[in-house]
Amino acid sequence: MIAREAIPNLLGNTAYDGSHDRIGTIGHVYVDDRTGEPEWMTVQTGKFGSRESFVPLEPAELRGSEVVVPFSKDQISNAPNVDPVSAGHLSEQDEAKMCEFYGLAQPSMPSGTHMPRPDDAMVRSEERMHVGQERVESGRVHLRKYVVTEEQQQTVPVRKEKVHLEREPITDRGRGMSSEMSDDDREVVRHEERPVMNKETVPVERVRLATDEITQDEPVSGQVRKERIDADGLRDDEGR
């Protein structure tokens, strides 16, 4: 049997049958009125989880976040239809019907316990809120690659040939050179370096999407109903 401390770990989790076929999501847990131990749970069955079927917790096993029961999915789906919402718990007749369906022994009162007469006591019930977690999709992130163009500028040194005139006087050694006057033309080829650019594509980094899991506390509020019992007609000297 699953202990009382494990109840918060059941709500909202998934129940599986003995063949590990998914049965449905666990909605409520009902405890024994006498011992306070968890005794039954409801699992959403039917089309789109439109029905809640009762499943006994005594033979159930909690494996991580999964609850495994030794009953087939079809058997659980065909369990007797019981609506305990108004009372907040299973009546003795409904519990006996469930035990008979699942082949379980009928619950008996502990030795030395006396059942009160119906007119001796009134049962007061209350709703209790149990919270859990469910994993849902909250958004999607796409990794997309596209090309952009940007301007880059670099400086490169270039050399240029600059032509200038050099003059030197004729000395006595050069007096024997021809002095005949004539037209003449000489050509000097001038060179210069010009910047050139080429491009190559190289890999620079690898990018992937990764998820980080963080834990934060979020408040959960809800309304629960409680029964109150008052006595009418008591005198002032009688206990209230």
pLDDT by position in tens, the chain (length 240): 677 777 777 788 888 988 888 888 888 888 777 777 788 888 887 665 567 888 888 888 888 878 888 888 888 888 887 665 444 567 778 888 888 888 887 765 544 444 444 445 778 888 888 888 888 888 999 999 999 999 999 999 999 999 999 888 877 776 666 667 888 888 999 999 999 999 999 999 999 999 998 988 889 888 988 988 888 877 777 665
Sheet hosting strand 14-16, strand order edge to edge: 51-56, 38-45, 22-31, 14-16, 66-68, 61-63
Structure tokens at 3: 């202990």
C-alpha triplet 58, 60, 64: angle, nearest 5°: 135
pTM metric for this prediction: 0.42
Domains in the chain: ranges and CATH: 4-102 (3.90.50.10)
Beta carbons of 160 and 193 less than 8 angstroms apart: yes
